[in-house]
A and B are shown apart, each in its own frame.
Chain A
Amino acid sequence: MRRISIVSLLLLVMFTSCKKYLDINQTPNNPLNVPASTILPTATVAVAFANSNDLNRATSAIVQHIAGVANQTAAYDVYNLDGSFDNQWNFEIYNGAVNNLQILIDQNSANNPAYSGIAKLQLAYIISVAADIWGDVPYSQAGQGLKYEQPRFDKVQDIYQGNSGLNITSLFDLVKSGLADLTKTSTLKPGTDDIVYKGDLTKWTRMGNTLLLKLAIQLTNVNPTLAKSTISSVLTANTYINANNLDFEVPFGPSVGNQNAIYTFNTLNRPGDQMLSSRFLALERSLNDTVRLAKLFTKPNNVFTSYDNGSTAAAPTNANRSKYNTFFTGATGEAPIRLLTNAQVNFILAEAALVLGTTGDANAYYQAGIRAHMSKIGMTTAEIDNYFNTNPSVVTLSGTNDDKLKQIITQKYISLVGNGIEAFNDYRRTGYPVLALPLNAAGDNPNVIPTRLPYTPAELARNPNAPNPRPKTDVKLWWAK
C-alpha cells in the first residue's frame, strides 16, 4: 500500500509539473494588443490602397481613362470582370480597412474620440466605395468577427439612407457621428500616425463635411431632397475642403514597400499592361486640353501614343507609350493617392447648384473646379489663363441644363484621372461623359458598359447571405440613371 501511495504521489508530481512545462503557448511572434496610433496608419493606407489598386485599374479602363494592353487590365477593358477582385474585397477593404477601422471605433469611442472620429469618417468613405462598386454589401454587420459570421448584405439605399428597423446607420449619420467625436475631449490624439493631416482635427472636420457632399451628390436621381438639404447645410457651415492644400490625399513614400500602387504597378511590375486610352486622348484633343494631358500622361518623344480600348492590335513599343505621369506615380512612387479634392468639391457644388438649386453660381464653381485641378497638376497660372482665354466655350457653361451637366461632369471626369472609381460613379449616375463600347466587348453583357462590378468569388462561396447568383454587370445600382 505504501508503494502504491509513493507511486501515486510520483505521478501527481509529474502531472503538476507538466502544467508549467506545457504553459508555453503565448506567441512570441505577434502582439496581442497594439496602440491605436499603430492601427490608424494601417487603416488609412488600406483605404488609399483599395482606391488605387485593382479596383482603380478596372474602373479606369471602364471609363476609358486608360486602355488595357495586357493581362488583367486588358481583360477588364473588355468587361471580363468575373472572378476578379477577391484581393480588393478581402484584404484591402474588409480585412485592411473595415476591420481595423471598426477596432479603432470600438476601442476608442469612450476615451479617445479623436481616433474613433477619424475612423468613422474613413469607414464611411470605404463603405461608400464598396456600395458604389457592388451595390448591396455587408455594412452594419461587417467587421465584427464572430458576432456575425455571415454578415448581411445591406441594401445600398439602406446604406445611404439608414434603416432603423434593420439597425443600419446611414452613411450620413456615420459621418456626423464621426464629426461629433472630433469635437469631444480625447485622451489620446493622433500626431504623425495621422499620415494625412498630422493630427489636425479641423482638417478632418473639413474632410468629413466634404465626404457629406460626395455622398449627397450621389443621390441626385433618387433622393434629391436629402441631397439638397445635406449640401446646403455643409455650405452653411462652410467647413469643407476649399483649397488644394486641404485635399484628402494619402501620402506614399519613395522607398521600396512604401510606394503607391499606381507606381508599383505601372512602373515597376507591370509596365506593359496599361496605357493612355485613345478615346481619352481624342476627348482631350477635342478640348484643346493637351497641355493638361501632358501633365496627366507621359508624352515620349513629344508624341502622345495611345491604345484603343479593347483593341487586339500590336501595342506600341513600351518605351513609346503614354502612361500615367509623375503626378500619379511620383518620381519613385511617392505621389499621394487623392481621394477627396478641392476640384471635386467645386464640381459637386456646380452640379448641386445646377441640378438641386443649392446656393452659389454653377459656372463659378465649374471654372473654379477646372482651375483647381489644373493648378493641382502643376500647370502655371499663365498656362491656365491661356487655356481659359483661348477656350471660352469649354470653360463656360452654356446651353440646356443637360448640356451644362455634361460639361461639368466631363471636366470632373478629366479631373478624376487616377481615380477611376469616382469617375465610374459619375458616369453611371449622369451618363456623362458619353462613352462608347470598347472593341471586342465581352463579359456578362457585351452590349452594355458595366453598371457594377461582379461580386467576388470568395465572398460568394463563403457567405450564404451574398446574392447568389450574383447580379449581372448590367443591373443598375439604386442611385444610377
Chain B
Amino acid sequence: MRKILMGAICFLLCTGIVHAQSRTVTGKVTDNTGTPIPNASVIVKNFSTGTKTSSDGTFSISVPTNAKQLIISSVGMEDVTVNIGTKSFYDVTLRQSEKVLSEVVVTSLGIARDKRSLGYATQNIKADQIADKGEVNVVNALQGKVSGVSITNASGSAGASVNINIRGITSFTGNNQPLFIVDGIPISNDVDRTNGGPLGTLGDNQPANRALDLDINNIESINILKGPTAAALYGSRASSGAIIITTKKGGSARNKAEIIVNSSYSIQGAIGLPKLQNDYGQGTNGIYSTNVSLNSWGPKFGSTPSVANGLLVNGNPVDYRAYPNNINDFFQKGAIFDNSVTVNGGDLKQNYILSASNLNQKGILPNTELKRTSIKFGGNTMIRDKISFGGSVNFINTIQKGILGGNGNSSLGIIAQIPRSLDLTSYKTKGTYQNPDGTNNWIIAGQDNPYYDAYKNPLTSNVYRFLGNVTTGMDVTKWLNVSYRLGLDAYTDRRKQIFAVSSGRVPNGQVLENTIFRSELNGDLIITGKKNNIFTKDLNLTAILGQNINERYFQSTQVQGDNLAFPGFYNVSNATTLTVGSFEANTKTRLVGFYGQMSWAYKNYLFLEVTGRADQSSTLPKDKNTYFYPSASLGFVFTDAFKINSSILSYGKIRASSAKVGKDAPPYLLDNTYASWAFGNNVASFTFPFGSTAGFGASTRIAPKILSPEFTTSNEVGVNLGLFKNRVSIDFAYFKQVSKDQIINVAIPVSTGYSTKTTNIGEMTNKGIEALVNVGVISTRTFRWDVSANYTRIRNKVVSIAPGVDNFGIPGSAFTGSIPSIKVGYPYGVILGGVIPRSNDGQRLINPATGGYQPLIANQVLADPNNDYKIGFTNNLKYKSFSFGFTFDFNKGGQVLSFTSALYKSRGMLDKTGVDRDKPHILPGVIEVTPGKYIDNNIQVAAQTYWQALGGLQSEFNVYDATVFRLREISASYDVPSDVIKKLKINGARFSVFARNVFYVAPNSLIDPEVNTQGAGNIRGLELQSAPNARTVGVSLKLSL
C-alpha cells in the first residue's frame, strides 16, 4: 500500500522522492505577566507550515530538521523568533506590541496556513470575538465583524433563521448560503419549512437554519473563506464561500486536566415597535364599531357618546378609551439561560475533551421557546509518533417552538392591526382567548385572536442531530503524509403544526406531522507531500492530492390531517381527511471528486498556488457527469522581496487570484414526470385523490434535452499592508465574479403545457470591494485599545436570463403584487409589484374622479433589497484585568417592503394618522388635465381615505430605505487577577456583562429594516407581518478549574 501511494505521488506530481527528517517541538506562549496566550501563531521559518497555541498557550508542531527557527506571534504582540535547538519544550514570552500580521488560519481541508502565504482573502474570527456576547446563533454572532459578508436575521423570534451570503448571490435559484465546515466535515445549514396552512412559507414560524445547533462556547475559531478561490478544494458547494469552524480541542503541553464552566443569563425584549396614536379608537369613518374591522378610524377619545358616533348603545355609553401598550404588551420578556461544562486533558498527542451544554430560551413572543442540549466528546491519540487518530462525536437536541407570522390570520398578522381602543390584555389568558368550548374568542368572526393563534397553533420542531468525524493520518515518510477523514452529519427533525378547530386559516382544524431527515456522509483521502529547496534553494513546495466522496440524503414525509372530528385532540387520528398535503419526498445525491493542489513558496515572499478539481456528480447526465475546474493564486510580499524596512511601511503584500467553480444540478431534473394533481390556491383548491379516484398529470416542469454544470469564475486582486510598525494593518480586496450557465427552471409560456423548462441559461455578475483595517491605537503595558473596521460594497447584476425572458420570480412563496424576482439589468432579488403611474417629471398621477391614485402599473420594480455598502466597526479596550468592547455596524441603502407599516397606516394606528384627522387631506401628486399637462393635486379627501391610499400592503409607500445604524453588541469583562486566582486555587475566572442589538437608528424606515419574514434563503427584503427584533442584555461567568 505504502508503495502504491508513493507511486501515485510519483506518477501524479512528477517530483522526485526526497528524504527529509522532522521532529516534534512543543512549548508554551505567555505574555509578560505570565498569562497564557491562546491562538498565538507558531510558524516554522522558511516553511509555510504552522500551528496555533491552545487555550492554555501551549503548542506542538512538527518541524523539519533543517528548520532553524520558529516565529511566534499573536495579535497585538511583538513577534518572537526562537532558535530551534535540541530542546523539545520552549517557553516563549511575547511582549505587547503592534505586530499583527503573521497569523495562522485554517484553510481548505482543515489545513493550517500562514496567512501571508495566501493569495486570496480570508478572515479569521476567534472565540473571544463571538463568545460571551449573548448570541445563540453562530451566524448572527459574526454580524458586523466580517467584510464581504451579508448577514440578516429573520426576526427576534426564538431560533429564527439567519441568512448569510458571502460576496453576494451567485446562483439564480440554487442555494447561495456558504458551505459550513466543522472540523473538516461539511454540515447542513439548511432551513426546512413546514408549510403553515394555506399561506405556506408566507406564514410559517421562521424555523431555524441548522447551524443554530452549534454551541458557540464550543468554537475555537471561525475562518471565512470568501471567494471560490479559497474554497475551490471543497468543490461545488463552496462556490458561495465557506465558513470553516474549528471546535475546541483538549490537551496541553502541561498535560493537566482542566474544567471550564460557563454560565450566562440574559433577558430579551422586543425593539423597533413604531409610535402609535392614542387619540382615536376602533371604527370606520369616525363611527365606533367593534365587530366589522380592526380599523382605528373611530371617533376621537373623549367624544360625547351618541347613537350617530356609535358610542351610545341602548342608551348606555360604551367603554371607549386608549390602551397605549396593547400591542407592545403582547411581546413578552424573553430569557436565555446558557450553561456549559467542558473537561479536557491530556498532552498534545493523547488528549480528550468532553463538553456538555444546555441552552434554554424563552422567546419574546408568547408560547415560543428554544432549547438546545449538546454533548460532545473528542480525542486524539498518536501511535509510535507516526500514526495519528482523532475524532469526535457530538449529539445535539434542539427544540424550537414558534408561532405563526405572515399576512392574514396569524398571531403576528393580527397583532399588526389591533385597534388602539382594544384592551388586548383582557384576551391574554386561556379563559379569555378562547370560549368555554375551546374555540377562538375574538371580536371579528373568522379572524384569529392573536393569543389564541399563539397558544393553539404553534409549530414545534424537535431535532436530534449527530455530528461525528474520525481522522487518521500517517507520516509515510518524513515528507509524505497520508490521511483519511470521514464525517457524518445526520439529523431528524420531527415537526408538528397544529391548527385548532375554529382557527382563521383552517377553520375545520388541521394537524401536520412532518418528519425531516437529512444526512451527509463525507470522506476525504488527502495525501500531502512537502519538499523544500526543490530545484533551487529557497523554493519550497507543498503538494496535496485528494479524493472526496460525498453522499447526501434528504427525506421529508408529511401526514396532513384535515377536517378534525372534534376540537381539543390534535392527533392525526382525529382527522377525517388525510390525503390533502400528505407527501413523501426523497433526494439522494452522490459526488466523487479528485483534486490536487500545489503550493510553491520562494524565500517566504513569493507564493504561487494552483488547484484543480474534477467532480463526478450523480445529478448530471451519465455520459457528461464529469467536470473540471482550476484555480491559481499568487501572493508577493514585496516588503520582504525588496527588503523595504521602513517604519511607515512595515509589511506589504499584493495578491491576485483567479478561480472557476462548477456546480452540479439538483437531483432528478433529467426526466419528465407525472405527479398527483392539485388545483387552486388559498381561496379555492382541489386535491386528488378524488374519493378513491386517483388523478395524475404531467408535472409542470419539462426536462431538458441536455444539462451541464453551472460555472462561476472569480477574479480577485488584493493588498495587505502593515503600517507604522504594523500598528495599522490594511487588507483590501477587489473581486469580480461571473456566474454563467445557471441551471434553472426557466419560465416558459404555459400555453406550451408546462410552466418551466430546466436549462442552462443566464448570467449574473458580482463586483465588490472589501476592506479590513485594524489599528492598535494605544498599546502600553497596562492599557490597550484596538480598533477594527470593515467595509463591504458589492454590486450584483443580472446580465441575462433566457432569450425573451425579462424576469421571473425567485422560487418560494410570494404574494402576487410583491414578488422577489430576477430581472435583467437589475440586481438579484428586486421585488416586482405595482407602482403608481407618473407624470413626465416623475410625479404620481392622481385620479381626478376620486382624488386617489391612478390604478397601479403592474410588474414594476417596487423595491431593491441590495444595500449600497456595509461598515462594521469594533473597538476593544483593555486595562489591566478589565476589558471593554463594542461593535456597531452601518448598512447603507437597500430597501424593505413592510406590510406591518402598511397596516399601521391603513388601519389608522400610526401616530401620524392621528394628526389633523378631522381636517381634509390631499395626497401628494398631480392631475393630468390634458395629455402632458399637469396641475398639483387639489382634491381633498378624508384622513381615512388619505392614509388608506398610502397604506396599501404592496404599495411603494411602504417600501423603506433600509439604511440602519446599529449598536450591535457591547460587552465588558473582568478577569480575576492571577494572584487572586492562585489563592482560589483555580486557573481562571472571568465575569462579563453584555448587550446585543442595543439600539438602532433607521432614519428612513418605520420598522427595523433588518428583518426578513421568510428567513434564510434567496428571498430578501420582505416584512410580511413578522416578529420584531430583540434586544438582549445579560451576564456571564466563566470559571476555569
Contacts and interface: CB of A to CB of B under 8 A. Distances in A.
Nearest to B620: A25
Interface residues of A, number: 94
A3 B752 contact: no
Interface stretch (B70-78, B84-92, B682-690): B682-690
B308 interface: no
A472 to B, nearest CB: 13
A469 interface: no
A450 interface: no
B130 to A, nearest CB: 39
A41 B693 contact: yes
A418 to B, nearest CB: 14
Contacts of A463: 749, 751
Given A41-B690, A464-B804, A142 B674 contact: no
A192 B693 contact: yes
Interface in B575-631: 576-577, 579-580, 584-592, 616-619, 622, 625
A396 B938 CA distance: 56
A30 B675 CA distance: 6
Contacts of A26: 668, 671
Contacts of B198: 269
A146 B757 contact: yes
Given A25-B619, A45-B679, A99-B698, A146 B691 contact: no
Interface string B355-382: 0000000000000000000000000000
Interface string A441-463: 01100000000000001110111
B749 A41 contact: no
Interface stretch (A60-68, A169-177, A251-259, A429-437): A251-259
A393 interface: no
A195 to B, nearest CB: 6
Nearest to A98: B753
Contact of B683 (A99, A264, A461, A466): A264
Contacts, number: 261
Given A42-B695, A90-B755, A150-B749, A34 B674 contact: yes
Contacts of A438: none
A149 B668 contact: no
A39 B680 contact: no
Nearest to A261: B684
A442 B856 CA distance: 12
Contacts of B425: none
Interface in B675-709: 675, 677-688, 690-691, 693-700, 702, 705
B307 interface: no
A137 B751 CA distance: 9
Nearest to A15: B616
A6 interface: yes
B15 interface: no
Nearest to B746: A462
A29 B753 contact: no
A31 B674 contact: yes
Contacts of A83: 816-817, 834, 858-859
Interface residues of B, number: 88
A258 B685 contact: no
Given A53-B684, A258-B690, A18 B616 contact: yes
Interface string B851-883: 000010011000000000000000000000000
Interface in B641-699: 667-668, 670-675, 677-688, 690-691, 693-699
Interface stretch (B5-13, B242-250, B415-423): B5-13
B292 to A, nearest CB: 8
B563 interface: yes
B446 interface: yes
A49 B672 CA distance: 25
Contacts of A8: 11
B7 A7 contact: yes
Contacts of A146: 702, 705, 752, 757
A399 B855 CA distance: 45
A91 B684 CA distance: 13
Interface string A258-280: 11111011001111100000000
Contact of B11 (A7, A33, A258, A269): A7
Contacts of A458: 747, 750
User: For A39, A80, A269, which residue has the most chain B Cβ atoms within 10 angstroms?
Assistant: A269
Contact of A257 (B616, B686, B834, B855): B686
Nearest to B3: A3
B754 A99 contact: yes
A150 B804 contact: yes
A21 B680 contact: no
Nearest to A82: B858
A23 B618 CA distance: 6
A51 to B, nearest CB: 12
A6 B7 CA distance: 9
Given A18-B592, A149-B748, A270 B617 contact: no
Contact of A41 (B446, B695, B702, B705): B695
A21 B585 contact: no
B702 A459 contact: no
B918 interface: no
A105 B587 CA distance: 33
A351 interface: no
B273 interface: no
Given A38-B696, A264-B683, A151 B749 contact: yes
Contacts of B753: 94-95, 98-99, 102, 142-145
A102 to B, nearest CB: 6
Given A25-B618, A151-B751, A32 B671 contact: yes
B804 A255 contact: no
Contacts of A113: none
A459 B622 CA distance: 34
A265 B686 CA distance: 11
A461 B807 contact: yes
A28 interface: yes
B390 interface: no
B111 interface: no
Contact of A42 (B587, B668, B677): B677
A28 B675 CA distance: 12
A443 to B, nearest CB: 8
B696 A42 contact: yes
B902 to A, nearest CB: 16
A27 B705 contact: no
Contact of A145 (B685, B747, B752, B804): B752
B683 A270 contact: yes
A260 B685 CA distance: 8
User: For A83, A195, A257, which residue has the most chain B Cβ atoms within 10 angstroms?
Assistant: A257
Given A49-B680, A145-B753, A150-B804, 20 more contacts: A3-B3, A3-B10, A7-B4, A22-B590, A22-B622, A25-B618, A41-B695, A83-B858, A91-B750, A91-B755, A95-B755, A98-B753, A145-B754, A151-B751, A255-B691, A258-B686, A258-B687, A262-B684, A264-B684, A457-B858
Cβ-closest 3 pairs across A and B = A99-B753, A3-B7, A463-B749
Interface of A: 3-4, 6-8, 10, 14, 18-19, 21-34, 38-39, 41-43, 45-46, 49, 53, 80, 82-83, 86-87, 89-92, 94-96, 98-100, 102-103, 137-138, 141-146, 148-151, 192-193, 195, 252-253, 255-262, 264-265, 268-272, 314, 318, 442-443, 457-459, 461-466
28 contacts: A3-B4, A3-B10, A6-B4, A6-B7, A7-B4, A10-B8, A18-B616, A29-B586, A29-B668, A38-B674, A42-B696, A46-B697, A53-B680, A83-B858, A91-B680, A92-B679, A98-B751, A100-B697, A144-B753, A145-B752, A145-B753, A150-B804, A253-B690, A256-B580, A265-B684, A269-B198, A269-B683, A459-B749
Interface of B: 3-4, 6-8, 10-11, 198, 284, 292, 445-446, 507-508, 547, 562-563, 576-577, 579-580, 584-592, 616-619, 622, 625, 667-668, 670-675, 677-688, 690-691, 693-700, 702, 705, 747-755, 757, 804-807, 816-817, 834, 855, 858-859
